[in-house]
Structure 1
Amino acid sequence: MSSKDSNINNSESYLIPHNDILEYLTIRVESVYTFRDRYFENHILEDAIHKNDHVNKLLEENLKIFEETETAALQNNKAKYYYLKGRLLNVVPKYSKEAENLLSKAIKLDRKLVEAWNELGECYWKNDELKKSINCFEGALKERKNKISLRNLSMLSRQDTSNSKIDYVANVEKGLNYAKEAVQMDPHDGLSWSVLGNAHLSYFFGVQQNPKTLRQCISAYSQAEKDIVARTTPDLHYNKGITLRYREEFEEALKSFNQASLYDPTWDPPKKREFQLIKYLNDIKELVSTKGKLKTKRLQSLLNSIDSKQLGPYLEDTKNILTGENAKLVPVKIHELKPELNERKVLLGKVVCSVRNEDTVPFTFCLIDETGTCIVVTVFNLADGRGVIIGDSVAIPEPFVTDVDFEYRALRYNFRLIRVERPLLLAVNGKLIQKHQAAGVQMSIFKKCD
């Protein structure tokens, strides 16, 4: 326990006369939330493993104070007392039936108690009663517009999945609008910025995959990190890691997953994501260097079978396939590719292996050209089961190249990567991929306190 753990048991600082017992209890409750939300202002990261225990200890101490003051507080204002005690019990991630009962009582006594509506919504959410949770946050908004209801409705709207694509898109757009409203109400609230980042991410995956949207997402997370409360929430770093993983900024993604684990060592998803990404990168590194582990005879057979006829539509002018302009693409070898976009160029090669990816997105494979040089290719927006197989010829127009080169946990990653976001432009075995082979991408976005 750190030297600053004395902050846990500082009840004496509040034991001063109060004319209003409910004002005193309010101060007590808010002190518990401040301790939880600003824990790392007074504790080092190594203390993170003890955070929940410290919060629970402080919760128990304050519940005793509520018991001691219950009679006087109920005589003053029953609704407010039930709300405050329910809010206190709600400070931990675990669902509390007692908190639900107290908050329900508070609302029955005072329908205009917005804070109680919001707390009850959180309570139902912890118990996976999402419809009831939504009703609570909407009930709060009917009484008063507030950022807490807005950002929670943003998250819940995006979790309300539907079999209908139209309904799903509507839910995602609704969630984005709620998040924007929350930020507008308080531009300095990091939690609202974090939710906005998640909303942009959902929009990118579920509605329109515009690179600008991903930039907005990262920008929102950066704003969130300016706030100490948001910056020390593990889910911010986890979701940022998901975004960076999709952008193939692998080093930063790994750091984000690790940061999420540091803020909550008991939470498994960030550790799992970090492990999976490291394995994915290790597999890429090995398969590129060994050219898919193919035997020499098999590899030579593939090299001999590469034929310019397999360029398919890219043998001719590519009007209406790329930019709508007449453009004869020039065939290039892998070693001739430059970083980023290679305009008016086309790469032809043979698939030597696929790379296992736990997420299934992107579909990843290794490609060799006629010189025997190998490169990794990641293809987004492919429908399940529609990837290429060993021996397929693949022509990639205007390839976008990234040179991956970094070190993480004493391991070095150094390879070239081609990223394909529009699979319909790929020519496989001389023919363009068909529309039914493409699909939208969906990703998991986390709210840690679920």
Structure 2
Amino acid sequence: MTNPPQEDPLAKAAKAAEDLYNLRDTYFPVNPDDKISKLQEQSDLALKLLDSIPPEQRMLPMQRATFEYLRGKILDVFPDYKKEAEDHLSKSVKLNPSLADAWLCLGNCIWKKGDLPAAKNCLSLALSKGPNKKILCQLSMLKRRMSQGAENQAELVDESIQHAKEAITLDVKDGNSWYNLGNACLTSFFVTGAWDHSKLLHSLKAYQNSEKDERMKSNPDLYFNSATVNKYLENYERALSGFEAAALKDPGLNAATEVQKIVNLLDKLENLMRKIYMQGHVKAKRMASLASSLAAVNLNSSYKRATIDLMLEGLNRAVAVDGKVLFFVKNDIVAPLYYLLCDSNQTCFVLSVYGVRSDVIKEGDQLTLLDPYFRYFDFSWKEKHYQFKSIRVDFPEQMLVNGKAVTPQQCARTSIYAQHKP
């Protein structure tokens, strides 16, 4: 009777290393120190397993390269840079330059050290040996990190997007590659001033494709980042659900704070609407006076004037809406700016504005909104019901303030950096 074949000791150590990284990516206790302790415990066991391999089974160059790679990978599982990890990974790629995973770990390790150009060279060298989706994703992430504060920021983020797309072409079903593309498009939205919503739509589509991969459902950052996109697309209910799901998966994220910011904004909008309609916060005579004072603004003949009640859901091309600013709505969300307006029919609506400075629009101003994006919100969250009409203005060119176009000096490229992991 023959004995069953024994598993290759290096293969067992590789499995232990993979389990270690799976723990890193899926274990999010309330106390972050508990995670570090757990990683330390598991990494010690993985190293012990690696060291139990008899010397004669790690003497050949290929075996030695794998051994050094696994030791470096296990040591590099922690957030902080470890020189010992870099030393082992450097030995590994010298012994076997075609070991792609070792190059990937080495690039990540050097990144932790803070030497971003060296990390880029390492990953680029690895990529020159053949296409690899993991290395392309890592290079994409690195380019986004390098873009922070760089003069060619937008160019580096565009390169990041390109690397992400290249990774997807290698495996269109890989959720991590789609997630990386979503992050790249979201970063591009912030870098270019937080006003081009087409970038958000690209990001959201990438996240939706990422969610099709079962392995990604344990990633709290996917939920957080997708919720961030929905927040800026003003899909409030989806944003709230996403942030809440992220908070449940990783209490260390500030997702609960994001939920509260949105709820505070919605409560403020709802309360202002209630005061106006139910409690006469804006006196009837004043409301009528404001509505009747809306002056006729000269517009291109291609535009048709309309009131808020005639708006269609979504983008209303070649339509212009006039409104008086009743209130500036202060809140904790950096962008967009929120206002409460009334039209010539004395119908109140919420206006969200991107791309202009906060001092450009004042209470009492007349705004003419061109090609407005209209939404009618009617949903409940935690037993609170929200119902209001809203117009979103993405570009300053879509708005006239007291009949005048917004000047370049009045524009603002909002410098917001996503709280998502880049």
TM-score (norm 1): 0.79
Distance 1:210 1:296, change over 3 A: closer
- Given that residues 179 and 196 in structure 1 are in contact (C-alpha distance below 8 angstroms), is that contact kept between their aligned partners in structure 2? yes
Task: Select the residue among 308, 314, 336 that pairs with 1:340.
Answer: 314
Question: Which residue of structure 2 aligns with residue 322 of structure 1?
Answer: none
| 1:406 maps onto 2:379 in alignment | yes
Question: Which residue of structure 1 aligns with residue 417 of structure 2?
Answer: 444
Equivalent positions of 1:280-319 (< 5 A) are: 280-291=265-276, 300-301=285-286, 303-306=288-291, 310-314=295-299, 318=300
Distance 1:339 1:226, change over 3 A: closer
SS in 2 for 1:310: coil
CA distance in 2, matches of 1:289, 1:224: 40
Question: Which residue of structure 1 aligns with residue 232 of structure 2?
Answer: 246
Question: Which residue of structure 1 aligns with residue 71 of structure 2?
Answer: 85
CA distance in 1, matches of 2:394, 2:342: 20
- Give the partner amino acid of 1:123: C
- Tell me how far 1:177 sits from its aligned partner: 0.9
Task: Select the residue among 260, 275, 280 that pairs with 2:260.
Answer: 275
| 1:216 maps onto 2:202 in alignment | yes
Task: Select the residue among 22, 29, 35 that pairs with 2:17.
Answer: 29
| 1:145 maps onto 2:131 in alignment | yes
Question: Which residue of structure 1 aligns with residue 305 of structure 2?
Answer: 330
Structure 1: segments with no counterpart, 5+ residues: 1-14, 319-325
CA distance in 2, matches of 1:309, 1:405: 28
CA distance in 1, matches of 2:174, 2:275: 50
Equivalent positions of 1:36-55 (< 5 A) are: 54-55=38-39
Task: Select the residue among 40, 43, 46 that pairs with 1:59.
Answer: 43
Question: Which residue of structure 2 aligns with residue 231 of structure 1?
Answer: 217
- Tell me how far 1:387 sits from its aligned partner: 3.6
- Tell me how far 1:134 sits from its aligned partner: 2.1
- Given that residues 220 and 250 in structure 2 are in contact (C-alpha distance below 8 angstroms), is that contact kept between their aligned partners in structure 1? yes
- Given that residues 136 and 166 in structure 2 are in contact (C-alpha distance below 8 angstroms), is that contact kept between their aligned partners in structure 1? yes
- Tell me how far 1:30 sits from its aligned partner: 2.8
- Tell me how far 1:119 sits from its aligned partner: 0.6
CA distance in 1, matches of 2:68, 2:284: 73
- Tell me how far 1:418 sits from its aligned partner: 0.8
- Tell me how far 1:381 sits from its aligned partner: 2.0
Distance 1:292 1:420, change over 3 A: farther
| 1:392 maps onto 2:365 in alignment | yes
- Give the partner amino acid of 2:52: E
Structure 2: segments with no counterpart, 5+ residues: none
CA distance in 2, matches of 1:154, 1:357: 34
- Tell me how far 1:419 sits from its aligned partner: 0.8
Question: Which residue of structure 2 aligns with residue 418 of structure 1?
Answer: 391
Task: Select the residue among 153, 157, 166 that pairs with 2:143.
Answer: 157
| 1:186 maps onto 2:186 in alignment | no
Distance 1:126 1:257, change over 3 A: farther
| 1:427 maps onto 2:400 in alignment | yes
CA distance in 2, matches of 1:69, 1:350: 77
Deviations 1:311-355 (A, max 9, x none): 4333xxx1xxxxxxx3353352x4454433445543322222222
- Tell me how far 1:205 sits from its aligned partner: 4.7
Point out the more displaced range, 249-258 or 87-96.
Answer: 87-96
Deviations 1:407-450 (A, max 9, x none): 222322221111111222212122121233234456534664x8
Distance 1:137 1:301, change over 3 A: same
- Given that residues 190 and 415 in structure 2 are in contact (C-alpha distance below 8 angstroms), is that contact kept between their aligned partners in structure 1? yes
- Tell me how far 1:223 sits from its aligned partner: 1.4
Q: CA RMSD in A?
A: 3.6
SS in 1 for 2:147: coil
CA distance in 1, matches of 2:328, 2:36: 43
Q: Identity over aligned residues, as a percent?
A: 29
- Tell me how far 1:259 sits from its aligned partner: 1.6
- Tell me how far 1:170 sits from its aligned partner: 1.6
- Given that residues 26 and 219 in structure 2 are in contact (C-alpha distance below 8 angstroms), is that contact kept between their aligned partners in structure 1? no
Aligned length: 416
- Tell me how far 1:377 sits from its aligned partner: 0.3
Question: Which residue of structure 1 aligns with residue 52 of structure 2?
Answer: 68
- Give the partner amino acid of 2:238: E
Question: Which residue of structure 1 aligns with residue 349 of structure 2?
Answer: 375
- Given that residues 324 and 343 in structure 2 are in contact (C-alpha distance below 8 angstroms), is that contact kept between their aligned partners in structure 1? yes
- Give the partner amino acid of 1:378: S
Distance 1:17 1:439, change over 3 A: same
- Give the partner amino acid of 2:53: T
CA distance in 2, matches of 1:84, 1:156: 23
TM-score (norm 2): 0.84
- Tell me how far 1:260 sits from its aligned partner: 1.6
- Given that residues 425 and 433 in structure 1 are in contact (C-alpha distance below 8 angstroms), is that contact kept between their aligned partners in structure 2? no
Deviations 1:345-377 (A, max 9, x none): 433222222223434211111112355432110
- Tell me how far 1:28 sits from its aligned partner: 2.8
Deviations 1:125-146 (A, max 9, x none): 3454433332321232123321
- Given that residues 294 and 323 in structure 2 are in contact (C-alpha distance below 8 angstroms), is that contact kept between their aligned partners in structure 1? no
SS in 2 for 1:312: coil
Point out the more displaced range, 115-124 or 235-244.
Answer: 115-124
